[in-house]
Amino acid sequence: MRCTVLTVSRSQGIGSGLTYDPGNLSVKPGSFVQVPLRNKIVDGIVLDVLQDHEKEEYDVKSIKEIFGESPLLTESQIKTVRWMADYYCCTVRAALSVWLPSPPWAALLPKVVTLWKLSNTKSIDQIKGKKQIAVLEFLESSDAVTAATIQEETGATLTTLKTLEERGFVSQIKKREEVDQTLPSIKITEPTLTELQQNAYDSIRSQQLPSLLFGITGSGKTEVYAKLIADTIREGKQAILLVPEILLTENCIDRFRRLLNAERIAVVHSKLTPTERREIWKNIHRGAISLVIGSRSALFASLQHLGLVILDEEHEWTYKNEQTPRYHARETAEALCRFSKARLVLGSATPSLESWSRAKAGLYHLARLPERYKNQPLPSVRIIDLADVSFGQLYPFSPPLIKAMEERLERKEQSVLFLNRRGIATALLCLNCRRRVVSPESQLPFTVHERRDGSQILVDHSTGLTAQAPSMCPHCKSPNLRAVGAGTQRIEHIVAKLFPKARILRADSDTLTKPEEMRELLDTMKRGDADILLGTQSVVKGLDLPNVTLAAVVLADVGLSLPHFRAGERVFQLLTQLVGRSGRSKPGEVIIQTFRPEAEEILRASRHEVEPYLEQELRLRLHTGYPPAVSMIRYIVRGNQPKHDAEALAASILLKAKDQNQSHVKVSFGPTLMSGGKEWHVLVRGLRKGFLDIPLEGKQIVTDVDPLDCI
């Protein structure tokens, strides 16, 4: 027999494992072992076990030891690790790194305990001491036990045991604590579904395929998840619920604490300390947990009986890891569920084009929730063209928005304002032709910065180029130029001035760093102790607050100006999510302020036309040859001559494509947006996977398969 072992050491060239002889140790894929490597003994994980093998030319070393009753990873998890390495073009070691807490892995094993047992019974009458006799009598009638048990039973301390050991009456043995892996019966508070929810649930249950649960905001997708989770647990299995943002996790955990005992729920996220990670890992591994909730990395939780994976808000970009291994949680969950025979459910009000196209192609089952809970109507949406508004000091607040906020204050209802991302810089926009002033070097919009004396300067962050702000538009010569954009702090300032009596809450990554802070903010809103919530879009878009009847998007243009094929999709998703925040219990209103009132994304989102938007966008991608119509790979090139290396890489890819008669392959390259020219990238579209075999060694090139970000 032979097995492949991935060692913990970082030696180059063995990132996919080495061959060892297991001898008569009963190893399995995922087993934690120790093996000899260059005069040292190192930790390793078994990747596979081969029954038959050819006689090797070289000397195969033996596995030295195996630890733990059960492997650290299940066979399905190991298969997923290998799938990740293959699909995302990284080493198996890189792929494995996200599945286990950082070494030493011995810390993941159950504790070693010292037990005492009788070793000599013949000459017991030599003993005089009462305590010593009591110990020996007790041990005569029991198995090996801990010193603590002995003390409890006889009152004898460790000193007595040591004396008896010296005289040869008792001896110590070391053993790993036994772990009870049987799942206990768990009390579940069964969710009650509406008829529509029941239909969606039934159709998902009857499927083998992954399901896309396409349900509008407020339709109760969470209830369907809860019911599916309840089933899974009742069947003696375990579930994972992935959510896009750790801050938003708090919001939904409460729902699941009502479903089952909080002790059987683990919340995992990237902010845990190494010790916390290990403790949670061990807890999950021994079966003490039935439901894992967390951000993308929770997919790698140590569940041994996986029955269900749910990705809530599956369209969210946070599901993509932007470091090696550059995995997407959706595709990886698909692989894991396939190998584990577990159910996969993707939920969204605005599905990604990827999932939508798969549902259309019959690769996913499509389940719909077309109505809000209790048939609550969707809010009415007003679009306000900011170019028509003459602002004074109050930019970017238009009179209709100010009036709507006033009304809420009078009616004691709440408003939520969505702002651009914190600190996002402003661009210089022509109010006449609606174009932005772009940098001649990168063709990207200039960022406007304010000097201390109040004058404006333009900065191109991709190249470092600076320029004086022009007095008229370079395209149409109109003098009507405006610096657009709005940061959270400035907005708070204006709102406070407009409504001095209003109680204002601000939620952005400056004010929120811990999940508990998010919970407190939600409680404040729910208690009615605040009137206006200002927040960055990423923080506020998932909220379920009953007394909010006005949701306003202060400036719905961010992202539209970026030269990115997903920019429109992203704005559409964001607006639809934001529209969904208003009127969840009472009739609501939404105001979208924008400089581009005619943009497809904005019009469709304001009319709640999700499906028509998706269909149209999908046609556009097919027509222009972008994902998901074709595959895409991005090579990120760093090092001391990134431009040269990127050019060379692009040329060799084109050459190879031509060689193989793949004339449809498209290659482009350039500096990345924020790198100042220190990083270049090569974008390849239309490749069949596996065709490309360009040697990348020796150069600082990162491969990003299915990139989300490509600017």
The residue ranges that bind Zn ion (CB under 5 A) are: 430, 432-433, 473, 475-476, 478
CA dist 698 and 639 (Å) reads 10
Cβ–Cβ contacts within 10 Å for residue 348, how many?
24
Task: Give the type of residue at 111.
Answer: K
**Residue with Cβ nearer Zn ion (435 or 666):** 435
Q: What is the DSSP letter of 424?
A: P
Q: What angle do CA 112, 115, 117 make, to 5 degrees?
A: 155
* Shortest distance (Å) from residue 414 CB to ligand ADP: 15
Q: Which of 600, 625, 696 is nearest to 91 (CA)?
A: 696
Q: Which range binds ligand ADP by CB under 6 A, 102-110, 211-219, 258-266, 471-479?
A: 211-219
* Shortest distance (Å) from residue 433 CB to Zn ion: 3
CA dist 234 and 445 (Å) reads 55
Beta carbons of 309 and 345 less than 8 angstroms apart: yes
DSSP string, 458-510: EE-TTT--EEEPPSS-TTT--S-EEEE---HHHHHHHHHHH-TTS-EEEESTT
**Residue with Cβ nearer ligand ADP (220 or 396):** 220
Binding-site partner at residue 17 among Zn ion, ligand ADP, none, CB < 5 to 8 Å by type: none
**Residue with Cβ nearer Zn ion (183 or 433):** 433
- Residue 589 is a binding residue for ligand ADP (CB under 6 A): no
Binding-site partner at residue 473 among ligand ADP, Zn ion, none, CB < 5 to 8 Å by type: Zn ion
- What binding mask, one character per residue, do residues 650-679 give for ligand ADP by CB under 6 A, x or -? ------------------------------
CA dist 246 and 264 (Å) reads 19
Binding-site partner at residue 296 among ligand ADP, Zn ion, none, CB < 5 to 8 Å by type: none
* Residue selected from 34, 76, 217, 488 as contacting ligand ADP according to rule CB under 6 A: 217
In order of 207, 246, 355, the CA distances from 705 in angstroms are 29, 25, 17
- Residue 220 is a binding residue for ligand ADP (CB under 6 A): yes
- Residue 583 is a binding residue for ligand ADP (CB under 6 A): no
Task: Give the type of residue at 80.
Answer: T
Tokens of 346: 């993707």
Q: Which range binds ligand ADP by CB under 6 A, 87-95, 218-226, 620-628, 702-710?
A: 218-226
Binding-site partner at residue 476 among ligand ADP, Zn ion, none, CB < 5 to 8 Å by type: Zn ion
Count of alpha carbons within 13 angstroms of residue 114, beta-carbon side: 9
**Residue with Cβ nearer ligand ADP (99 or 225):** 225
* Shortest distance (Å) from residue 598 CB to Zn ion: 16
* Shortest distance (Å) from residue 193 CB to ligand ADP: 5
Binding-site partner at residue 221 among Zn ion, ligand ADP, none, CB < 5 to 8 Å by type: ligand ADP
* Residue selected from 215, 396, 445, 628 as contacting ligand ADP according to rule CB under 6 A: 215
Quick one: CA torsion of 156, 158, 161, 162, rounded to 10 degrees? -150
CA dist 534 and 424 (Å) reads 16
- Residue 526 is a binding residue for ligand ADP (CB under 6 A): no
* Residue selected from 544, 600, 611, 709 as contacting ligand ADP according to rule CB under 6 A: 544
Count of alpha carbons within 13 angstroms of residue 371, beta-carbon side: 11
**Residue with Cβ nearer ligand ADP (192 or 471):** 192
Binding-site partner at residue 218 among ligand ADP, Zn ion, none, CB < 5 to 8 Å by type: ligand ADP
**Residue with Cβ nearer ligand ADP (373 or 395):** 373
* Residue selected from 194, 456, 509, 511 as contacting ligand ADP according to rule CB under 6 A: 194
- Residue 576 is a binding residue for ligand ADP (CB under 6 A): no
Beta carbons of 634 and 702 less than 8 angstroms apart: no
> Which alpha helices (H) appear in 73-157, and where do they start and end?
75-87, 92-97, 130-140, 147-154
Q: Which range binds ligand ADP by CB under 6 A, 15-23, 162-170, 188-196, 410-418?
A: 188-196
* Shortest distance (Å) from residue 484 CB to Zn ion: 13
- Residue 218 is a binding residue for ligand ADP (CB under 6 A): yes
**Residue with Cβ nearer ligand ADP (221 or 282):** 221
598: alpha, beta or left? (left if phi > 0; alpha if psi -120 to 50): alpha
**Residue with Cβ nearer Zn ion (185 or 468):** 468
Q: Which of 475, 476, 440 is nearest to 458 (CA)?
A: 440
The SS3 of residue 333 is helix
* Shortest distance (Å) from residue 249 CB to ligand ADP: 14
Beta carbons of 507 and 496 less than 8 angstroms apart: no
The SS3 of residue 3 is strand
* Shortest distance (Å) from residue 429 CB to Zn ion: 9
> Which alpha helices (H) appear in 258-398, and where do they start and end?
274-285, 329-340, 353-360
- Residue 350 is a binding residue for ligand ADP (CB under 6 A): no
Cβ–Cβ contacts within 10 Å for residue 213, how many?
29
Site for ligand ADP in 365-424 (CB under 6 A): 373
**Residue with Cβ nearer Zn ion (275 or 478):** 478
Contacts of 622 (CB under 8 A, 6+ apart): 629
Which helix or strand (DSSP H or E) is residue 457 part of?
strand 456-459
The SS3 of residue 240 is strand
Q: Which range binds ligand ADP by CB under 6 A, 25-33, 96-104, 221-229, 279-287?
A: 221-229
Q: What is the DSSP letter of 693?
A: -
The SS3 of residue 541 is coil
* Residue selected from 219, 352, 439, 672 as contacting ligand ADP according to rule CB under 6 A: 219
Site for ligand ADP in 10-29 (CB under 6 A): none
Residue nearest to ligand ADP (CB): 220
**Residue with Cβ nearer Zn ion (478 or 663):** 478
Contacts of 98 (CB under 8 A, 6+ apart): 297, 300, 321, 325, 327
Q: Which range binds ligand ADP by CB under 6 A, 156-164, 220-228, 406-414, 436-444?
A: 220-228
Q: Which range binds ligand ADP by CB under 6 A, 212-220, 288-296, 415-423, 514-522?
A: 212-220
- Residue 244 is a binding residue for ligand ADP (CB under 6 A): no
* Shortest distance (Å) from residue 558 CB to Zn ion: 20
DSSP string, 16-36: T-EEEB-TT----TT-EEEEE
Binding-site partner at residue 544 among ligand ADP, Zn ion, none, CB < 5 to 8 Å by type: ligand ADP
Q: In the complex, which residues of this chain contact ligand ADP (CB under 6 A)?
A: 192-194, 197, 215, 217-223, 373, 544
